[in-house]
Amino acid sequence: MTDRRLLRVLNGERVDPVPVWMMRQAGRHLPEYREVRAKARDFLDFCYSPSLAAEATLQPVRRYGMDGAILFADILLILDAMGRNVRFLEGEGPRVDPATKASELAQVPIEKILARLAPVGETVERVRASLDDSTTLIGFAGSPWTVGVYAIEGRGGTDKADSRKFGYSHPEELDGMLEQLVEASAHYLLMQANAGADALMLFESWAEGLPEDAFERWVIGPTARLVQRVRALGVKQPIIGFPRGAGGLVLDYAERTGVNAVGLDTAIPLKRIAASLPKGMPVQGNLDPMRLIAGGPGMEARVREIITALKGRPHIFNLGHGVTPETPIPHVESVLRTIRSMT
């Protein structure tokens, strides 16, 4: 196998220049993405079409020479496979048939869930076969709490108040829902690992705003059980956890969930947090995507500051959230030049 620099970092090694990939690197900021997206009937059709999803996954690697390719899919595919009628409305985002009982997430057996998600496995196989051996392929799933929020509220773009109230009022029911998501997601991640993913990532997109006790019960506990279940199924690949908006609770997350590496969002104070994280734990993040839009010397200086702040540990350069559609391609190229000029 050719040297996979990003995978080496996930296994605990410091590599310079630091490897780089960007969340949502496959997306509407690329004209080639917009061309392939137009071939799909809708967004779900896009995600379930292996030839199209594989092409979208590969595009930013071809254009930028990224060290990592992130599977093109969506965290809500698991709910779609669990029978919650996921659909994406133009200009409004995702909609899901709400569920407020564990039994509603247990109606579809694991075998049928995996059959529905089989095209994702094929996408992974196609991408791994097409990638240069030096590029790490990252599979992913949404973390149980984040996917559970969508299940409870039926949509994104909320303040998650309904989900928090539900959890406080019906704690055992929410626990049961999260356990259903743990089991289904573990098998989904196993499928991706068996199909050729070199690493896996858990997106906890709605970690913000939770008090410590709720964060413990709804984020740390289910994530730890998901990691344990994935390992029990025989998956050896390193796992990145990204608890966006967790603030100082990211330390508890890193120490107690069992993830191998942690993603740091835009608001994380790098020097303080990096000094407190478990020794030798790999990190990725936390450039502000708005910096990427603005570009210029300020952006380049911030790139250097982030790399310097994390000099003492394994580090993968990334954003604190995803690439936005209005991001200029030359600005991404400038970030890559800046990173690759540092040793």
How many CA atoms lie within 13 Å of 296's alpha carbon, on the beta-carbon side?
A: 5
The verdict on whether omega for the bond into residue 286 sits within 30 degrees of 0, i.e. cis, is yes
- Residue 74 annotated as catalytic: yes
State the alpha helices, DSSP H only, in the chain: 5-10, 31-37, 43-47, 50-64, 77-81, 110-116, 118-130, 144-153, 161-169, 171-195, 212-215, 221-232, 250-256, 270-276, 289-294, 296-309, 329-340
The burial of 1, by beta-carbon neighbours within 10 Å (0-12 exposed, 13-18 middle, 19 or more buried), is given as exposed
Alpha carbons 335 and 66: distance in angstroms, whole number: 11
68: part of which helix (H) or strand (E)? strand 68-70
- The DSSP result for 291-302, as a single string, is HHHH-HHHHHHH
Given the residues 8, 37, 62, 87, the one annotated as active site: 37
- Token pair in block for residue 245: 């908006």
- Residue 64 annotated as catalytic: no
Given the residues 5, 64, 67, 74, the one annotated as active site: 74
Tokens 């740390």 belong to 220
Given the residues 24, 128, 225, 302, the one annotated as active site: 24
CB atoms within 10 A of CB 339: 20
- Residue 28 annotated as catalytic: yes
Given the residues 150, 164, 225, 302, the one annotated as active site: 150
203: part of which helix (H) or strand (E)? strand 199-204
Alpha carbons 152 and 145: distance in angstroms, whole number: 10
- Residue 37 annotated as catalytic: yes
Alpha carbons 135 and 300: distance in angstroms, whole number: 24
Q: Give the pairing of strands 136-142 and 93-95.
A: unpaired
- Residue 24 annotated as catalytic: yes
- Catalytic residue numbers, as ranges: 24, 28, 37, 74, 150
